[in-house]
Amino acid sequence: MKNIVLTGMMGSGKTTCGKALARRLGREFLDTDAMIVSQAGKSIPEIFSQEGEPAFRDWETAICRQLTDRENLIIATGGGLILRPENVELLKARGVLVFLNRPADLIFDSTSMAGRPLAQNGKAAFLQTFAVREPYYRAAADAVIETFPSVEDTVTEILRQLYTLEGVL
C-alpha cells in the first residue's frame, strides 16, 4: 500500500492525526522531524541556529530519500519540507500527499510556540510564512483536508477522501 504523507504548517495536526491514523489503519507512523533529530543528534532549533536553515532542508531531503523504498507508512512531514520540489517527488513516488489545512491564525493562537523557529518573529511573520507556503501545500496535495476540532473527525475525513484514491487503503 502507498504511504500516506501528511503536510501542512507546524501545529496543523500532522503528528497527532498521523498517530491516530496509523493506529486506525495498523500502519507504522514516522515523523520526518523526529527522524532528523534522531539522526542529527540535535534538536531542530539547534540545527537552525548552528547550521542554518539550508542545512536543515538538506536533512529533510536526506530523510525523504531514505523513505523512497518503504511503503505502508503514515508520515508526518515538517512544515517547510514541501518547499523543495525534489522532496515532493520523492514522497509522491511511494505515497499520496494530504494537506491538513488549519487556519494559520488559529494555529498561532492555540499551539505552543516555545522553541519553534517559525514563532521567533511573531504572529505577523508566521501568517506571512503560511501565505507563502499554502500554494505549495495545495499544489503538492492529492487531498486537502479542512481540519476539524477533533482528531477523530479529521482522521475520518482523511479516510473518506483517501478511499477514492487507488492503492492507498
**Binding-site residue set for Mg(2+):** 15
Query: φ and ψ at 80, to 5 degrees?
Result: -100, 0
Residues in binding site for substrate = 33, 57, 79, 133
Exposed, middle or buried, 115 (CB in 10 Å: 0-12/13-18/19+)?
A: exposed
In this structure, are residues 105 and 52 in contact, taking their beta carbons and an 8 Å threshold? no
Binding region for ATP: 11-16, 116
d(CA 37, CA 102): 25
- Could you tell me which residues are annotated as the binding site? 11-16, 33, 57, 79, 116, 133
Task: Calculate the dihedral angle through the C-alpha atoms of 144, 148, 151, 153, rounding to the nearest 10 degrees.
Answer: -90
